[in-house]
Amino acid sequence: MSTNNFREILQKRELYLLETEVDGTYLLYAPLADSILPVSEEDVCKLADAVVSPESADTDTLETVAALCDVEPVSMREGHVRGVEDFINLSILPNNVCNFSCSYCYSAKGRSKQRLKLGQAIQMIDYFMDKKRNDSDFLTVTIFGGGEPLLSWDDIVKPAVQYIYTRNNFQRKVVTTLITNGSIIPDGFIEICRTYDIDLVCSYEILRDVQDSQRRHYDLVSKNIATLIENGVVPAINSVITELNVERQQEMISVLAQNFPQIRHVAFEPVIGDDIADKDSFYLKFTTSFLKAKRFAEQQGIVLTCSALRNVDVTVDRYCAGELALCADGSISICPCVSSPEEKNYSSYIYGKVDEHGVSIDKDKLSSLLKENVHSQPWCDGCFAKWNCGGGCINNTKNNGGEQIPQYCRFVRRFLKYILARRLDDIWQEENGVSIKEIIGDYERFIEE
């Protein structure tokens, strides 16, 4: 039986053979068991035979197969959303108004004067926090755009935040995250952030020329971040990586550490859009630069992450679990990136609303939306990365005409394979005193293969 036959047998049990530099040696990846190990062709043969004919296999091989395959299905795991009762995060998008015009903004087409009504927000918070819906000890609320949420500070955001914690009355842990462009510090904002320990995130490109080119207002946002820090509110930073800064990520960390040494959490995310001519080249530059920046950030005491890195540590069948997202018009969307009637996919993503009659949910439509996952995308079949990336962002796929974005898939696979090998190397050196490179060769090339 050929290696390809063995590969097919193992893949049916969600075991994947990853090529290495050394002929006859593979990395066996079991994503559902969160396990990766080096194997020889002989090992592969024994494992495949044990899958097909367990009665003929030795005890050790059967135990290995059981450990790698007899795992809890993804659909039964904690955090998997099967219906509205499973949501533990509420997203609130207070408006579709913004005072910036960022060059890459995903929601620019949805701009309007629409603002959420406080009564709608209160009804949604009541619905979300009702223990009859979900009695989890831990809930999260995320407030962002849409537009710039702090443009609705007095009429929506402040009273909604206060209501969340009054309504909860210390019954369970509630964490509120607020994402802002950093242009506004309304009266009472700092006090509210401190009182309720708000996780504040600022969208900020760190480098003056990049911020002023893509978002503008570098001096204003930098000054406001400094004011927040001086008053005991240290934000995390989200930066969008484009062709302007893709090879300057270490420089970004250096400038941030120099200007704002108190900041400890940063996320770099590659831009979403069709204006990048050579996406493969862009993603390669992103990966190489990001990994260098991450090592440098660790030396500065900064935690740098991106979605591709976070995905290494999850096991999902959907890129995002699905959202309970309250939009500015009172509708409820599966995706907070689509929150306005002016946006593509809006009508297909809305599965509920909040009005004078209360909160209504179309459970059948929600169920249908949640089934858009790795099982509904044929290109995910046989992909070793699918249980980590969850098939990628469904909205991005829809915007691509429902077709695969192959450059993104290649980026995710390369990134995942490299991180898995590097982590295995750390463990291998600790346990065996030698590098895994002695067995599989130089895994640095995984980034480019």
Q: What is the pLDDT along the chain (449 residues), one digit of tens a residue?
A: 556 689 999 999 999 999 999 999 999 999 999 999 999 999 999 999 999 999 999 999 999 999 999 999 999 998 899 999 999 999 999 999 887 777 776 666 666 788 999 999 999 999 999 999 999 999 999 999 878 999 999 999 999 999 999 998 878 999 999 999 999 999 999 999 999 999 999 999 999 999 999 999 999 999 999 999 999 999 999 999 999 999 999 999 999 999 999 999 999 999 987 678 899 999 999 999 999 999 999 999 999 999 999 999 999 999 999 999 999 999 999 999 999 998 889 999 999 999 999 999 999 999 999 999 999 999 999 999 999 999 999 999 998 999 999 999 999 999 999 999 999 999 999 999 999 999 999 999 999 87
**Alpha-carbon span 156 to 123, nearest angstrom:** 13
**3-state percent helix, strand, coil for the chain, nearest multiple of 5:** 45, 15, 40
191 inside domain: yes
pLDDT value, residue 107: 67
Beta bridge partners of 16: 29
Tell whether 39 and 181 lie within a shared domain.
no
CB of 26 within 8 A of CB of 392? no
Quote the pLDDT of residue 30.
98
E strands along 109-152, which residues?
138-143
Rounded to 5 degrees, φ, ψ at 17 are -95, 120
Q: Is residue 299 part of a domain?
A: yes
Whether residue 356 is contained in a domain is answered as yes
Residue 386 is encoded by which pair of tokens? 């699918």
**Which residues, in sequence order, are CB contacts of 291 under 8 Å at separation 6+?**
418, 447
Same-domain check for residues 202 and 64:
no
Relative to beta strand 350-355, strand 331-333 is antiparallel
Q: Are residues 57 and 114 in the same domain?
A: no
The answer to the question of residue 406 being in a domain is no
396 within domain boundaries: no
Asked which of 41, 71, 101 is the last residue of a domain, the reply is 71
Q: What is the CATH number of the domain that holds 325?
A: 3.20.20.70
Does some domain include residue 176? Answer: yes
Neighbouring C-beta atoms of residue 18, cutoff 10 Å = 20
Task: Identify whether 400 is part of a domain.
Answer: no
Total domains present in the chain: 2
Residues 192 and 146 in one domain: yes
**Predicted pLDDT of residue 347:** 94
User: How many CB atoms are closer than 10 A to CB 309?
Assistant: 17
The crossing angle, in degrees rounded to 10, of helices 41-52 and 59-69 is 80
Q: Which pLDDT score is estimated for 273? A: 72
Do 139 and 282 lie in one domain? The reply is yes
Residues 220, 250, single domain; the answer is yes
Do both 232 and 145 map to the same domain?
yes
Question: Strands 25-30, 35-40: parallel, antiparallel or unpaired by DSSP?
Answer: antiparallel
Report residue 207 as tokens: 């480098």
Neighbours of 423 (CB within 10 A): 13
Task: Tell me: do 303 and 342 sit in the same domain.
Answer: yes
Q: Which of 315, 340, 363 is the last residue of a domain?
A: 363
In the prediction, which pLDDT does 277 show?
A: 85
- H or E segment to which residue 25 belongs: strand 25-30
Are 197 and 238 in a shared domain? yes
CA atoms of 312 and 305, how far apart (whole Å): 11
Q: Which domain holds residue 195?
A: 84-363
Q: Is the pTM of this model over 0.75?
A: yes
245, 99: one domain = yes
**Domain termination residue (choose one: 363, 382, 400):** 363
Residue 33 in domain: yes
* Same-domain status, 113 and 262: yes
67 shares its domain with 114: no
In this structure, what DSSP letter does residue 157 have?
A: I
Instruction: Give the 3-state secondary structure of residue 441.
Output: coil
The beta-strand segments (E) located in 125-257 are 138-143, 173-180, 199-203, 236-241
